[in-house]
Copies of this chain bind each other. A is one copy, B any other.
Amino acid sequence: MPIINRLDSSEADFRERLDRLLAWEGVSDEAVTRTVSEILADVRRRGDAALLEYTARFDRLQRPRVADLEIPPERLRQALEGLDAEQRQALETAAGRVRRYAEHQRLADWQYTEPDGTVLGQQITPLDRVGLYVPGGKAAYPSSVIMNAVPAKVAGVPEVVMVVPTPDGTLNELVLAAAAVAGVDRVFALGGAQAVAALAYGTETVPAVDKIVGPGNIYVATAKRMVFGQVGIDMVAGPSEILVICDGQTDPTWIAADLFSQAEHDEDAQALLVCPDGPYLEMVVAAMDELLTEMPRAEIIRTSLAARGALIRVRDLDEAVAVANHVAPEHLELSVADPAALASRIRHAGAIFMGRHTAEAVGDYCAGPNHVLPTSRTARFSSPLGVYDFQKRSSLIQCSPAGAAALGRTAAVLARGEGLVAHARSAQYRTQDEEAK
């Protein structure tokens, strides 16, 4: 079996084959939906008592009170101080860079005054309280704590509440240290749909938040979808993807490693290489064969590349751009001589990694931009997680008496056209002062 699928844009069924490879729908089956809605309703009704029961059942963790599941700030600092120097410095460097980039994203108030004295504008406020879900167990990602918590703190959110399951009481030191570095305010050893419910509705001990962010398994994703409206959510992410455009001049081993770094995430991850140079594609295959033997997660890589990966031969770089715009990838690597020329023609991508020296992996950890990015073609209509996701806008309208008179007349005509007489009257009362002059 070949290590990866091969597509050629000159084949008649190219678009069809590509779309089949891209197709992915994350469906919560009925059993999951039923379980999750029971848990949500139960935590909403019984609060702490329900939380303690589910935590005992799913995480095998017995505690008399939910307060005993709170991990105090001293414990986070202790985790940070316990790291070896290299890891601690790497975490702090990453958080610092993510913070610096995020500071460029802050929304600001603005307003303008019209000739008649009417003032229009927009006022920006941070969210009051944000919940951050962090997966526990083997898929524990400290980088995810940094990427989700830092923008919230840069936005000015006063309180970030993190939940992380600790199956059998196992704490992940790197995750706790990342929480300390990122400025997380409170941490509870809670997970699953019950943790999402606690954050959405609040319990006697866990405070209700205004938005829940962070990755999770199918139960967590389903719970987030269900509480949306009660609270905000970030997005329901699909599998991770990369599309690399290469002109055939980058070291093939580098490109092989870039594809692997996506494929090693999980069996559903997607790694695509688009290139006009046929012989170069064979060199990348040879490099993959060799590199695979050195990969601890070789089985996951093999499965993901065979199921969803592809080498796509195109006529030229123009066609490569067209393919990328159709795919709207989460990660787009432009491994070419003049990446800026291509980037300006990209209409849809979560993050664009420009030039041969920019590995997607540095974006996962420490380049600065967020690693929470739109997947499954949603870059057509959505953006990376950012400071703006933790701020909101309020429109400001202050009519001068003259402005009220002018606007009131226009509003009244339109309101009567829609049959809304109270609207018309409410607007017209404010036109009187001026009209009496």
Contacts and interface: CB of A to CB of B under 8 A. Distances in A.
Contact of A426 (B210, B232, B260, B374): B260
B415 A364 contact: yes
B417 A87 contact: yes
A236 B219 CA distance: 23
Given A354-B397, A395-B370, A359 B427 contact: yes
Contacts of A265: 420
Given A87-B413, A367-B399, A301 B351 contact: no
Interface in A110-167: 110, 112, 118-120, 122-123, 125, 127-128, 138, 140-143
A415 B297 CA distance: 13
A358 B397 contact: yes
B423 A369 contact: no
Chain A interface residue count: which class?
35 or more
Interface in A375-395: 376, 378-384, 386, 388, 392-395
B381 A423 contact: no
Q: Which among A291, A380, A424 has the highest number of chain B CB atoms within 10 Å?
A: A380
A269 to B, nearest CB: 11
A143 B418 contact: yes
Interface of A: 86-87, 89-91, 93-94, 101, 104-105, 110, 112, 118-120, 122-123, 125, 127-128, 138, 140-143, 174, 210-211, 229, 231-232, 236, 251, 253-254, 257-258, 260-261, 263-265, 291, 294-297, 301, 332, 339-340, 343-344, 346-370, 373-374, 376, 378-384, 386, 388, 392-401, 403-404, 407-408, 410-411, 413-415, 417-427, 429-430, 433
